[in-house]
């Protein structure tokens, strides 16, 4: 199990050039073991840069990234080993598929880890199991799969490396509702069974609210909130003001509240929203 | 036997787009079967369905990129299987695709928007007017000289829409135009599409995976296994939650909330599809009491 | 890397930026021809003064010009030294077995000035013209060749698309490299053969993606009524303006000056 800790991390593109642009600044936080963190923020809020710093793809221009209390940039020769502890699934990961068969493609990561053939085989079976990839499908060319299948095959390729921390950048982008739900269920199931840390970047506050236990809200390269889902949703009106897509039901509750109907607004699920509205309406009836 | 086209020419029917018993297959793979569909002038039609249900094929059949294996597709009375009509059909029914990067041709916004009118061999003055109008319609006046790769996804997709508008089409077919965009880009693009339909009277066929977008349409069809599985207004479609879910789709969260509320004994309609409606309904309940 | 511009376009609104790109292109070519056809040092100095005035008009700082000259300094020095030592004539001074002649010095100075002017002149073109302007200029200039069956329009379209997609594909390469590195791909170490092999996971997805993009682009172009270059018109037709004629005349004046300078 690994803990990632960021200390005063910042990143500036084109540093020192006239067109320098700060993507991330002064981020200090710890991703707790076994937590499921949802990361939200606008495009350009720095979240994509931030997650690429977690496995050393991008070197911060300020501050340090620690994995298990070791600065990952202190010894660059060990960087690759540390990278293996953090599995990163980038946006549209299906564009990384390249092998002749899905199976070989999933094996790419484990092989780079230097595992034995038996171990690799075992990893493939395990990853394929999580992502519902049938044995028949494993033998097919990754380029012949449907969009959703490609996406799952690509995620399997990262999962097979058994990272302690799994980071996913918008893993549901471009999929249909069922495809979206399937992927999220897979991640949730993996999290519950393996109890590994999950960091999920998403544009959908609904998804984050449903699956994550912790929320990281990024705004203009800085941490706006980093707390449990419940605590963060206590700031639902601030979130809305920042222009973030808060869950539809939360949005409705906020508006009802503004209209003088006494509903709770720190709610993000349909069930609880129905309860608070029901309670409020019934209260009004009894007055 | 008298065909659709005869009725069209006599003015008996006037659908802008007509699928007349259309089937389509790639080799042995049947993608669409016996589709009958009319889209009227000025209508906003949303097409839903899981990946692989035949939605994109349907879009490509409309402007003659694909030709039906059997049956006929007509656009403004023109048969898409007749090669002679293709240029005219493509002018009338413009297509916008999912990935904005792969449909922008030029390295400057205005040059890209000018691409279609240039192809049509129009006079430079006329092209200028069309380009300016199209860019204004999508609200990108400030970016007219920018390089497309420096724009955001939502802006790029609006460039693509402007590029189609410059043909002055009667109809725009959009194949998952917001799938690759962030929520902000998505809502900007949807605003443009909605406005083009309501204000400029452009017929819209929108293929989408987002239920919030489908709610804006006049009519929804749901494709499944190459057939039209459901058809109706957004309200009638989403009131059938079980059926919608079984077709791999979902109902908008507000509809789910309305259903829960009515199960809880609150008097709100189960076929609410927009947040405003629910808010109004609940506020009205309160006012009734006072 | 993202902003690939041939040379380095500097956004500006100088009179030279506003010239018809065809005029810019042709004048630059003529300038280069002049550099090679005139042989007096006075002419070269005039040519240098002329190009420096042009830089002043565009308001490009001299520092930038010097910076772009930096990489050619060794070449200039090398040719100068060769010229100095190996051209026979009136000896100015000599040491050991080498003697430097007047003629040698003269040629060294001439060559150096010529190379500097050559680079300054061609850089000015790329500083003031976007690749797309140059494509348009070439398309327009070669238009008469269309009648001979030369596919000028198609070539210009290919050029445009290339310019449009280079930044996109570079971005894509970055993304794929990041993805494969995340899966432990080792791109930085190993023997040459291993390194080439290590590129497979990058090159295959890149090619697949390029072909997919090409397919989609072709489809989108077809939907926008593209049927090859024939019958196409252009939004921004290149038309000579009064200022273009003025610039050309100023340039001619400069040429006359040069010829005169050669007679002194």
pLDDT tens across B215-243, in order?
Answer: 999 999 999 999 999 999 999 999 999 99
B to C CB pairs, distance under 8 Å:
100
Place of tokens 């050029």: C159
Residue B10: the pLDDT is 67
Residue A123: the pLDDT is 96
Which residue stretches of B120-246 are H helix?
Answer: 124-137, 153-165, 183-200, 211-214, 234-239, 241-246
CA distance C223 to chain B (A): 6
Do A259 and A287 belong to one domain? yes
pLDDT tens across A187-232, in order?
Answer: 999 999 999 999 999 988 888 988 999 999 999 999 999 999 989 9
Nearest-CB residue to C205 (from A88, A96, A109): A96
CA distance A179 to chain C (A): 22
Closest residue in B to A149 (Cα) is B51
Q: Angle CA(B233)–CA(B237)–CA(B240) in degrees, nearest 5? A: 150
pLDDT digits (tens), chain C, 264 positions: 344 334 567 777 888 888 899 999 999 999 999 888 888 888 889 999 999 999 988 888 888 788 778 888 888 888 888 777 777 777 777 777 777 788 888 888 888 888 889 888 988 888 888 877 888 888 888 888 888 888 888 888 888 888 888 888 998 999 999 999 999 888 777 777 877 888 899 999 999 999 999 999 999 999 999 988 777 888 887 888 888 888 888 888 888 888 888 777
Do A261 and A143 belong to one domain? no
Tokens of A200: 């999920």
For the segment A18-23, the average pLDDT, to the nearest whole number, is 80
CA distance A56 to chain B (A): 26
Residue C64: the pLDDT is 78
Count Cβ atoms within 10 A of the Cβ of residue B99 and give its class: 0-12 exposed, 13-18 middle, 19 or more buried: buried
Tokens of C95: 């040491």
Place of tokens 């999912």: B98
Q: Is the pLDDT of residue A88 over 60?
A: yes
- Asked, for residue A28, whether it belongs to a domain, the answer is yes
**Do B205 and B171 form a contact (C-beta atoms < 8 A)?**
yes
Q: Is the pLDDT of residue B49 over 80?
A: yes
Percent of all residues in chain A with a pLDDT value above 90, rounded to a whole number: 68
| Chain C residues inside the 8 Å CB shell of B174 | none
- Asked, for residue A251, whether it belongs to a domain, the answer is yes
Do A151 and A252 belong to one domain? no
Residue C1: the pLDDT is 38
Residue B12: the pLDDT is 63
**Cα–Cα dist A236/C89, whole Å:** 88
User: Across chain B, where does the E strand assignment appear?
Assistant: 17-26, 29-39, 44-48, 70-75, 78-79, 93-96, 171-175, 203-207, 219-224, 227-232
The answer to ipTM > 0.85 is yes
Q: Which residues of B touch C (CB under 8 A)?
A: 63, 65, 87, 90-91, 94-95, 97, 99, 101-108, 110-111, 114-124, 127-128, 131, 147-149, 160, 163-164, 167
**Do B190 and B213 form a contact (C-beta atoms < 8 A)?**
yes
CA distance B10 to chain C (A): 29
Tokens of A188: 């949730």
Residue B290: the pLDDT is 57
Q: Is A158 on the interface with C (CB under 8 A)?
A: yes
Q: Could you give phi then psi for residue C178, rounded to 5 degrees?
A: -60, -45
What are the boundaries of each domain within chain B?
A: 4-238, 252-290
CA distance C230 to chain B (A): 8
Residue C26: the pLDDT is 92
Instruction: Classify residue C222 by its DSSP letter.
Output: H
Ramachandran class of C90: left when φ > 0, alpha when ψ lies in -120 to 50, beta otherwise: beta
pLDDT tens across B58-68, in order?
Answer: 999 999 999 99
Do A81 and A168 belong to one domain? yes
Give the full edge-to-edge strand order of the sheet including A86-89.
A86-89, A165-169, A197-201, A36-40, A214-219, A222-228
Choose from A96, A154, A168 for mutation: most chain C CBs within 10 A. A96
Residue C36: the pLDDT is 87
Residue B259: the pLDDT is 92
Are C200 and A57 a contacting pair at CB < 8 A? no
- Asked, for residue A81, whether it belongs to a domain, the answer is yes
Residue C6: the pLDDT is 40
Counting Cα atoms < 13 Å in the Cβ hemisphere of C18 gives 11
CATH number of B4-238: 3.40.50.300
**Cα–Cα dist A7/B265, whole Å:** 52
| Chain B residues inside the 8 Å CB shell of C235 | 110-111, 114, 117-118, 124, 127-128, 131
Residue C70: the pLDDT is 80
Question: Which band of pLDDT confidence, cut at 50, 70 and 90, is reported for residue B38?
Answer: very high
Q: Are strands A165-169 and A86-89 parallel, antiparallel or unpaired?
A: parallel
- CA-nearest of B218, B211, B222 to B186 is B211
Question: Which band of pLDDT confidence, cut at 50, 70 and 90, is reported for residue B103?
Answer: very high
How many residues are recorded in chain C? 264
Residue A122: the pLDDT is 96
Do A151 and A36 belong to one domain? yes
Which residue stretches of chain C are H helix?
Answer: 21-37, 41-58, 62-69, 73-86, 102-128, 131-142, 152-182, 192-198, 200-223, 242-263
Domain count, chain A: 2
* pTM score: 0.86
Do A227 and A254 belong to one domain? no
Over chain B, what is the mean pLDDT? Answer: 91
Tokens of C226: 């593209």
Subunits close to B (at least 3 CB pairs below 8 A): A, C
Q: Is the pLDDT of residue B112 over 60?
A: yes
Domain that holds residue A262: 247-287
Choose from B175, B238, B256 for mutation: most chain A CBs within 10 A. B256
Do A211 and A257 belong to one domain? no
Do A202 and A251 belong to one domain? no
Which residue stretches of chain A are H helix?
Answer: 47-54, 79-83, 102-112, 117-130, 135-138, 147-159, 177-194, 205-211, 229-233, 236-241, 248-258, 270-286
- Asked, for residue A102, whether it belongs to a domain, the answer is yes
Nearest-CB residue to A274 (from B153, B261, B283): B261
| Chain C residues inside the 8 Å CB shell of A52 | 178
Do A161 and A257 belong to one domain? no
Residue B121: the pLDDT is 92
The torsion of the CA quartet A54, A57, A63, A64, rounded to 10 degrees, works out to 60
Q: What residues contact residue B204 under an 8 Å CB cut-off, 6+ apart?
A: B43, B44, B45, B171, B172, B174, B193, B196, B197, B217
């Amino acid at each position: 199990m690994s803990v990632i800790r960021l200390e005063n991390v910042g990143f500036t593109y084109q540093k020192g050039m006239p067109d320098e642009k700060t993507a991330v600044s002064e981020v200090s936080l710890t991703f707790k073991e076994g937590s499921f963190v949802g990361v939200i923020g606008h495009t350009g809020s720095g979240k994509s840069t931030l997650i690429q710093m977690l496995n050393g793809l991008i070197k911060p221009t300020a501050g340090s990234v620690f994995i298990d209390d070791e600065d990952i940039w202190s010894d660059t020769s060990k960087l690759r080993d540390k990278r293996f502890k953090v599995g990163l699934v980038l946006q549209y990961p299906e564009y990384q598929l390249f092998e002749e068969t899905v199976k070989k493609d999933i094996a790419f990561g484990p092989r780079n880890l230097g595992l034995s053939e038996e171990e690799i085989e075992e990893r493939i079976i395990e990853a394929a199991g999580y992502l519902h990839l049938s044995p028949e499908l494993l033998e097919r060319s990754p380029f012949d799969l449907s969009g959703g299948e490609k996406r799952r095959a690509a995620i399997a390729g990262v999962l097979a490396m058994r990272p302690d921390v799994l980071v996913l950048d918008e893993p549901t982008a471009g999929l249909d509702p069922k495809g979206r739900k399937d992927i999220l269920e897979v991640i949730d199931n993996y999290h519950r069974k393996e109890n590994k840390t999950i960091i999920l970047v998403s544009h959908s506050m609904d998804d984050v609210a449903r699956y994550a236990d912790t929320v990281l809200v990024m705004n203009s390269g800085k941490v706006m909130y980093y707390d449990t889902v419940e605590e963060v949703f206590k700031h639902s009106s601030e979130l809305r003001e920042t222009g973030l897509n808060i869950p539809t039901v939360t949005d409705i509750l906020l508006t009802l509240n503004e209209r003088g109907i006494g509903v709770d607004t720190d709610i993000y699920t349909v069930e609880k929203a129905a309860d608070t509205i029901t309670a409020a309406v019934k209260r009004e009836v009894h007055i | 036997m008298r065909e659709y086209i005869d009725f069209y020419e006599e003015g008996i029917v006037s659908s802008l787009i007509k699928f007349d018993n259309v089937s389509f297959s790639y080799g042995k793979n049947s993608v669409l079967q016996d589709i009958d569909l009319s889209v009227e002038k000025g209508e906003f039609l949303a097409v839903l369905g899981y990946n692989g249900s035949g939605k994109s094929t349907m879009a490509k059949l409309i402007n003659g990129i694909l030709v039906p294996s059997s049956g006929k597709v007509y656009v403004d009375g023109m048969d898409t299987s007749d090669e002679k009509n293709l240029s005219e059909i493509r002018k009338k029914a413009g297509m916008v695709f999912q990935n904005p990067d792969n449909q922008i041709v030029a390295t400057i916004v205005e040059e890209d928007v000018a691409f279609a009118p240039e192809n049509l061999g129009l006079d430079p003055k006329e092209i200028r007017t069309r380009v300016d109008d199209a860019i204004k319609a999508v609200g990108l006046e400030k970016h007219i000289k920018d390089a497309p790769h420096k724009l955001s996804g939502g802006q790029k997709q609006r460039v693509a829409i402007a590029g189609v508008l410059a043909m002055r089409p009667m109809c725009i077919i959009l194949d998952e135009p917001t799938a690759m965009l962030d929520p902000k880009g998505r809502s900007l693009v949807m605003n443009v599409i909605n406005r083009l339909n309501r204000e400029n009277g452009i017929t819209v066929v929108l293929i989408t995976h987002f239920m919030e977008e489908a709610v804006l349409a006049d009519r929804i069809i749901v494709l499944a296994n190459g057939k039209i599985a459901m058809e109706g207004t957004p309200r009638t479609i989403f009131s059938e939650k079980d059926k919608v879910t079984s077709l791999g789709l979902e109902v908008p969260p507000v509809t789910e909330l309305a259903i829960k509320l009515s199960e809880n004994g609150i008097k709100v309609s189960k076929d609410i599809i927009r947040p405003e409606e629910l808010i109004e309904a609940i506020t009205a309940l309160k006012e009734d009491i006072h | 890397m993202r902003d690939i511009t041939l040379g380095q376009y500097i956004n500006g609104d100088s009179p030279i930026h506003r010239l018809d790109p065809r005029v810019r292109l042709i004048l630059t070519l003529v300038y280069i021809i002049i550099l090679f056809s005139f042989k007096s040092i006075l002419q070269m100095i005039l040519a240098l003064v002329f190009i420096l005035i042009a830089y002043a008009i565009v308001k490009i700082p001299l520092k930038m010009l010097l910076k772009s000259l930096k990489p050619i300094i060794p070449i200039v020095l090398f040719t100068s030294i060769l010229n100095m030592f190996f051209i026979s004539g009136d000896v100015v001074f000599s040491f050991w077995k080498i003697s430097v002649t007047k003629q040698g010095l003269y040629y060294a100075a001439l060559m150096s000035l010529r190379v500097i002017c050559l680079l300054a002149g061609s850089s000015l073109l790329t500083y003031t013209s976007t690749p797309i302007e140059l494509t348009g200029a070439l398309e327009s200039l070669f238009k008469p060749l269309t009648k001979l069956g030369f596919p000028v329009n198609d070539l210009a379209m290919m050029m445009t698309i290339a310019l449009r997609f280079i930044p996109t594909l570079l971005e894509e390469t970055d993304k794929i490299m990041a993805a494969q590195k995340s899966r432990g791909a080792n791109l930085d170490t190993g023997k040459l053969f291993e390194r080439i092999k290590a590129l497979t996971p990058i090159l295959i997805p890149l090619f697949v993606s390029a072909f997919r993009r090409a397919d989609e682009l072709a489809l989108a172009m077809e939907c926008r009524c593209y049927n090859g270059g024939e019958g196409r018109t252009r939004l921004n037709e290149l038309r000579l303006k009064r200022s273009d004629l003025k610039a050309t005349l100023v340039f001619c004046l400069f040429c006359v000056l040069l010829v005169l300078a050669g007679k002194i």
